[in-house]
Structure 1
Amino acid sequence: MIILAFSLRYFQLATYPATLYGDEQAFAWNAYNILKTGADEYGTKIPLEFRSFDDYKSPLPVYLLVPLFKFLGMNAYSIRLPVVIFSTATVPVFYFLVKIFLKRKTALIAVFLTAVSSWHIHLSRGYFEATISLFFMIAGFYYLVRRENSKSIILSAGFLALSAYSYFTPRILLPVLLPLTAVYLNYYKKGSWKKTVRVFLLTALMVSPLVISVFSGYGLSRFQKLSVGFSQSVAESVKKERRTSLLPDFIKPVLHNKYQTRIKMTLDYYLEQLSPNFLFIYGDNSLRYFLGGRGMLYLWEYPFLIAGLYYLFRQKRFVFWFFLIWLLLAPLPASLVGKPFAVRSITMLPPLYVFIAAGIHFFFRRFAKISLTGTMVLSFTAALFMVFYLMRYYLEYPVYAATWWGWENKAALDYAAAKQEDYERIFISDFYSGSALAYAVYNSVDPDSYRLAKAEPVTLSDGRHFLKIGKYYFGSLDLNNKRLEEKVIPDKSLYIGRPEEPAGEDEILASDDGRLIFVVHDTLKKDCYIEKRKAC
């Protein structure tokens, strides 16, 4: 099972996806800065939060990359390898957790489902910190519910704390989930609440440096930035409701206000994450975080989910309520900041697969006479869905989802790299934000040089500012026909500009629908055309 899980996550890791998206570059660049300078990209020594894009990223995913960069260098393979390792390790840890509650066969089914999960595989092939956090959370709960001793208390608290240091979701989920777990465990086993309380307090103590950092600095800005879009949607909804209402003006604010609307939308987003639409039909519509147009779980798992809920409720109430509480609380963090989101909702996976595995076990136990035939049919169905997923992931997804993975900047950099020896200056528009950072990551630029380039941008004669690294200039020349006639592009220069700028000698097109991504102005080709030189 471990080999299967590792193979599905490791195969051609550096090639699929073909490019590094913005957060991958940000994590990598900060880790590279730590390795080379002992500080983050802004010069802060060993921070507990990484400012990055002013979203203040969690520390552990950054520090995990530092030793890998030391030995493997900074590249797509070394950047993504930690997630593959932790996602693969999730399989045996999940097995041990399930085995505490259910039989060995059911535990094996649960981890098999995890190993071949399209949701888990997808979020294991990019640098998604939520996948790392999920491993620590499962490990923390394993030591929480096993036999009570001081070692298990320390390990449980340690792993749960590491999950909070890895991603922001556990910081919202655990303060709610752990107290409810304590009440629940004590109901079935008198006195067991004491262990959970100890774990809770020790976890809080371990996380306190992070909490202090969050509340004393700008750490809350991540949550605030995530909430901006949600708040805008709330405001627009309130305006629309009041505009279309025929009620007297003094009553409209009572029935249509931001508080009532936010509660309603939060509830809608919460329920949507638990709906068959999200889980089995449409899934996450962000093509970075999933394939699009299909559910987060395989459709064949749906009837077994229902069967598992029924079986555990009837036969094993203790198990049923433990994992149901987990499942019902898991969507809470995502629903507070917006629509269903595969990354923020990944903590739903363990309880879902426990219920599905229990349903499969119940089915074959109930219909023992057809167990052999049923096993063959189910195995064939699961394999078929798996093949369809892999075909789409490797043969279609790289094309239609390319621009969701920062393909634009990589295409411009590759185009420029192939021609850079012929030019004294290469200008690349920052229309698709992050072009300079992408160049720094793909080329392992010296951190001090990059920091200086950001602090002291160069200014052209017309007053436009550019971040200069070697012969590369990142910014926009803002071309129009008049500026072209004024020859604002210096001689022996290549300019890769915004799609709405005047057409040049070449262009870069999107791989999915052929739309224009960049226009290319090549002064060497212009000179060749004007002078009609054959050497061109």
Structure 2
Amino acid sequence: MKRILFSLILLLGIILRFYALGSNPPSLDWDEASLGYNAYSLLKTGRDEYGISWPLSIKSFNDYKPPLYAYLTIIPVAFYGLNDFSVRVVSAFFGVLTVAIVYFLGKEIFPSRKVKLSLMLMLFLAISPWHLQFSRIAFEANLALFFVVSGVWLWLKAAGRYFFQSLSALSFALSMYAYHSPRLVVPLLILGLLFIDRQKIRRNVRPVIIFFIIIILSILPIARQLKQSTSARFSSVSVINPDEKLKESINAIDYDTERGFSWGKYFHNRRLVYFREIVGGYLDHFNFDFLFLTGDPPGRHHAAGMGMLYFWELPFILLGVMYLIGNFSRFLSWQIISWWFLVAPIASALTSGTPHAVRALFYLPLYQIFTVLGLAKLLKKKLIFLAVPVVVGSFFHYLHLYYVITPFEYAQWWQYGYRQAIETAREVEDRVDRVIFTYRYDQPYIYYLFYNLIDPGEYQKLSANMEIKRAERKIGKYEFRNIDWSQDKYLTHTLFVAVPGELPDGTGQLMGEIKYPDGKTAFRLTVME
């Protein structure tokens, strides 16, 4: 029976992650398009879009993405071509694997009724809005989550056995090749594992020595990249922004000094300012609205009209946490998941824009574990049937929000319209001498490369000789830049791909208008003869 239930839950997880994968979300966002085109470039030439041979970080938009997702995407791109579906397949596939892995994780965590509770844990992750959201988009965090969860499961299963300890090390190392956050979260997680299991380790230290040898050897190829690319990424998203935060601190100190309050330099010390920002960012990830009501901005991270978790999970999470705290010292595995829960948001807390559902993804499936612990109380009292209609009703409500409401309301967050604008421009480009494509919505060039299947070898030659500016690129007759109508109005034989308001109404010949699903205009394509 357990095999049948396992298979049915896994089948549900597959359907939910692969159904309409290429069309919902309604468009690739620019990070997805970048990963896809770089995978295509690596497939065709062995180099990324900038001509770097098999890089250990993907430069992309100067955010230096870890390479694993792009490398794995080479496989579906080779089979299915470069399209929306092939870019997202890797995330969906590893999302399904994560659903399977948590069953085995549960068997290591739950002290009794292991199979029943593990199947429940598996089901809750299979239908989790948070996990589904990121299993259906090409975000590297979802790939990294699989390796983090696998690493913890293999550590718990190892119990001093070399094979599983070695696989745990390899899994943790691969998470660092997949996404930035594990480069901080995983070392902290491992420190906790070592401390909690210190008694076992003293009795048999050799497997742990092997563990560290494997993990160190595995990350050696990216050791230098870890410093360079992570620093570049951190500087772009860090909450510790010297220009902004130090200015506030200095102004406050000057204000106090002018009024004779000498202690101001201690109260407004930049270290205290940074500490407050980091602690505030950390606590943001336990925010009620974020978790259960609204999620985080932008709309790419959750379904419209709901938070990251089902609202019905709240009482069971609280019950589960209370039960865990009350029995904390009884089971080492519970101490491990508690430590995991506490360190998972730390990397995200160091960045701006908290709470952040992507960077903090790594405390899934812990909320599901807490939910199962809470629901276990109902199982004991044979009251589980009371929760079934609520869970089923919430699930179908989520499906309605995700497949019907979200594409309508949140399409613009997904850079909807770029593909349609590129296709329309392609039909007109032979009639004009140049195409000026607005940079208002950011990174339009990557959609041009992606949807026109531009030869990576030719683009690499161009990018090698071109000064790369964020808002100014030229590829053939296409110019990707901001439109300055005071200057551009004198251009002739030009196609403008602009957003409403960039060109005066009635200007030129309107060749097409791209609209969002809600009827608002995304782009207007206008020819100036």
TM-score range, shorter chain: 0.7 to 0.9
The secondary structure found in structure 2 opposite 1:427 is: strand
Q: Does the 8 Å contact 2:239/2:278 carry over to 1?
A: no
Aligned to 2:4: none
Letter in 2 for 1:144: W
What is the root-mean-square deviation of aligned Cα atoms in Å?
2.8
1:489 equivalent in alignment to 2:501: no
The secondary structure found in structure 1 opposite 2:58 is: coil
Unaligned runs of 5+ in 1: 459-463, 525-536
Aligned to 2:143: 132
Aligned to 2:448: 439
Question: Which of the residues 400, 404, 415 maps onto 2:409?
Answer: 400
Q: Take 2:338 and 2:154, find their aligned partners in 1: how far apart are those partners? A: 19
Letter in 1 for 2:271: Y
After TM superposition, give the deviation of residue 250 of structure 1 in Å.
Answer: 3.4
Aligned to 2:27: 19
Aligned to 1:255: 267
Aligned to 1:533: none
Q: Take 1:227 and 1:364, find their aligned partners in 2: how far apart are those partners? A: 45
Letter in 2 for 1:165: Y
Question: Which of the residues 64, 83, 88 maps onto 1:56?
Answer: 64
The secondary structure found in structure 2 opposite 1:428 is: strand
Matched positions, count: 506
Q: Take 2:451 and 2:134, find their aligned partners in 1: how far apart are those partners? A: 22
Aligned to 1:522: 527
Counterparts in 2 of 1:382 and 1:193: CA distance versus 1, 3 Å: farther
Q: Does the 8 Å contact 1:430/1:474 carry over to 2?
A: yes
Q: Take 2:121 and 2:255, find their aligned partners in 1: how far apart are those partners? A: 50
Letter in 1 for 2:421: A
The secondary structure found in structure 1 opposite 2:271 is: helix
Q: Does the 8 Å contact 2:516/2:522 carry over to 1?
A: no
Q: Take 2:473 and 2:322, find their aligned partners in 1: how far apart are those partners? A: 63
Aligned to 2:503: 501
Unaligned runs of 5+ in 2: 1-8
The secondary structure found in structure 2 opposite 1:494 is: strand
Deviations 1:404-443 (CA, angstroms, capped at 9, x unpaired): 2122433422332454565565432233322221111112
Aligned to 2:373: 358
Q: Take 1:283 and 1:204, find their aligned partners in 2: how far apart are those partners? A: 37
The secondary structure found in structure 1 opposite 2:220 is: helix
After TM superposition, give the deviation of residue 57 of structure 1 in Å.
Answer: 0.9
Aligned to 1:531: none
Question: Which of the residues 141, 157, 176 maps onto 2:169?
Answer: 157
TM-score, normalization: structure 1? 0.87
Letter in 1 for 2:315: P
After TM superposition, give the deviation of residue 8 of structure 1 in Å.
Answer: 0.7
Q: Take 2:164 and 2:396, find their aligned partners in 1: how far apart are those partners? A: 40
After TM superposition, give the deviation of residue 186 of structure 1 in Å.
Answer: 2.7
Aligned ranges 1:244-393 → 2 under 5 Å: 248=260, 250-291=262-303, 293-315=305-327, 317-318=330-331, 319-338=333-352, 339-365=354-380, 367-368=381-382, 371=383, 374-375=384-385, 377-393=386-402
Letter in 1 for 2:391: A
Structure with bigger gyration radius: 1
Q: Take 2:77 and 2:392, find their aligned partners in 1: how far apart are those partners? A: 37
Aligned to 1:173: 185
Q: Does the 8 Å contact 1:5/1:88 carry over to 2?
A: yes
After TM superposition, give the deviation of residue 389 of structure 1 in Å.
Answer: 1.4
Question: Which of the residues 15, 19, 25 maps onto 1:7?
Answer: 15
Q: Does the 8 Å contact 1:86/1:131 carry over to 2?
A: yes
Aligned ranges 1:95-110 → 2 under 5 Å: 95-102=103-110, 103-110=114-121
Aligned to 1:530: none
After TM superposition, give the deviation of residue 235 of structure 1 in Å.
Answer: 3.9
Counterparts in 2 of 1:296 and 1:218: CA distance versus 1, 3 Å: closer
Q: Does the 8 Å contact 1:476/1:497 carry over to 2?
A: no
Letter in 2 for 1:46: W
Letter in 2 for 1:345: A
After TM superposition, give the deviation of residue 465 of structure 1 in Å.
Answer: 7.9
Deviates more, 1:109-118 or 1:66-75: 66-75
Q: Take 2:244 and 2:335, find their aligned partners in 1: how far apart are those partners? A: 35
Question: Which of the residues 117, 133, 137 maps onto 1:122?
Answer: 133
Counterparts in 2 of 1:483 and 1:287: CA distance versus 1, 3 Å: closer
TM-score, normalization: structure 2? 0.88
Counterparts in 2 of 1:84 and 1:225: CA distance versus 1, 3 Å: same
Q: Does the 8 Å contact 2:180/2:230 carry over to 1?
A: no
Counterparts in 2 of 1:238 and 1:193: CA distance versus 1, 3 Å: farther
Q: Does the 8 Å contact 2:304/2:401 carry over to 1?
A: no
Q: Does the 8 Å contact 1:163/1:170 carry over to 2?
A: yes
Q: Take 1:309 and 1:358, find their aligned partners in 2: how far apart are those partners? A: 8
The secondary structure found in structure 1 opposite 2:108 is: helix
Q: Take 2:403 and 2:243, find their aligned partners in 1: how far apart are those partners? A: 37
Counterparts in 2 of 1:84 and 1:466: CA distance versus 1, 3 Å: closer
After TM superposition, give the deviation of residue 60 of structure 1 in Å.
Answer: 0.7
Deviations 1:76-117 (CA, angstroms, capped at 9, x unpaired): 111000110000001111111110121111111111110000
Q: Does the 8 Å contact 1:309/1:320 carry over to 2?
A: no
Deviations 1:462-504 (CA, angstroms, capped at 9, x unpaired): xx986134x5443456223x753x4x122xx422235333332
Counterparts in 2 of 1:502 and 1:297: CA distance versus 1, 3 Å: same
Q: Take 1:275 and 1:407, find their aligned partners in 2: how far apart are those partners? A: 30
The secondary structure found in structure 2 opposite 1:396 is: helix
Q: Take 1:306 and 1:478, find their aligned partners in 2: how far apart are those partners? A: 55
Q: Take 1:109 and 1:192, find their aligned partners in 2: how far apart are those partners? A: 34
The secondary structure found in structure 2 opposite 1:496 is: strand
Aligned to 1:528: none
Q: Does the 8 Å contact 2:240/2:274 carry over to 1?
A: no
Q: Take 2:484 and 2:239, find their aligned partners in 1: how far apart are those partners? A: 30
Aligned to 2:3: none
Q: Take 1:168 and 1:211, find their aligned partners in 2: how far apart are those partners? A: 13
Q: Take 2:387 and 2:376, find their aligned partners in 1: how far apart are those partners? A: 12
Aligned to 1:238: 249
Deviations 1:149-203 (CA, angstroms, capped at 9, x unpaired): 2211221111111111111111101211112211112357863666445424421
Provide the identity percentage. 28
Letter in 1 for 2:475: K
